[in-house]
């Protein structure tokens, strides 16, 4: 159970790392505004706004996922310690 708890902690850390790498958004972004500057036929600069589909994970997904993994890891460690204590092995 300790190994599974360690894997859960590492996965929670990975989810937090992905959230950090994607820009620490509170909400998940599914579209991003892209502005392109072009010059029209008369020499004027024109800015064109386009919404491009994207996926940048937000805290609304990463928070519960990481929290659930940390909670599961804590539960696994608690159950492992309880099992070892009942077997007479102590808290090794």
Per-residue pLDDT of the chain (92 residues), as tens digits, is 899 999 999 999 999 999 999 999 999 999 999 999 999 888 899 999 999 999 999 999 999 999 999 999 999 999 999 999 998 865 55
Q: Which of 20, 53, 19 is nearest to 34 (CA)?
A: 53
Q: Are 22 and 62 in contact, with CB atoms under 8 Å apart? A: no
DSSP state of 49: E
- 91 in any annotated domain: no
User: Is residue 72 one of the residues assigned to a domain?
Assistant: yes
Q: Has residue 92 been placed in a domain?
A: no
3-state SS class at 16 = helix
Domain assignment present for residue 78? The answer is yes
Instruction: Domain count for the chain, please give it.
Output: 1
**Do residues 62 and 56 lie in contact, with contact meaning Cβ atoms separated by under 8 Å?**
no
Q: What is the pLDDT of residue 13?
A: 98
pLDDT at residue 92, as a whole number: 55
Q: What is the pLDDT of residue 91?
A: 57
pLDDT value, residue 48: 93
Q: Is residue 56 part of a domain?
A: yes
Which pLDDT does position 7 carry in this prediction? 97
Q: Which domain holds residue 57?
A: 2-86
Within a domain: 28: yes
């Amino acid at each position: 159970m300790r190994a599974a708890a360690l894997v859960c902690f590492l996965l929670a850390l990975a989810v937090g790392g992905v959230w950090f790498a994607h820009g620490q958004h509170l909400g998940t972004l599914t579209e991003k505004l892209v502005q392109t500057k072009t010059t029209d036929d008369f020499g004027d600069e024109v800015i064109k706004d386009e919404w491009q589909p994207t996926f940048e994970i937000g805290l609304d997904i990463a928070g519960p996922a990481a929290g659930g993994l940390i909670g599961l890891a804590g539960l696994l460690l608690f159950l492992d310690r309880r099992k070892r204590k009942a077997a007479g092995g102590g808290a090794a």
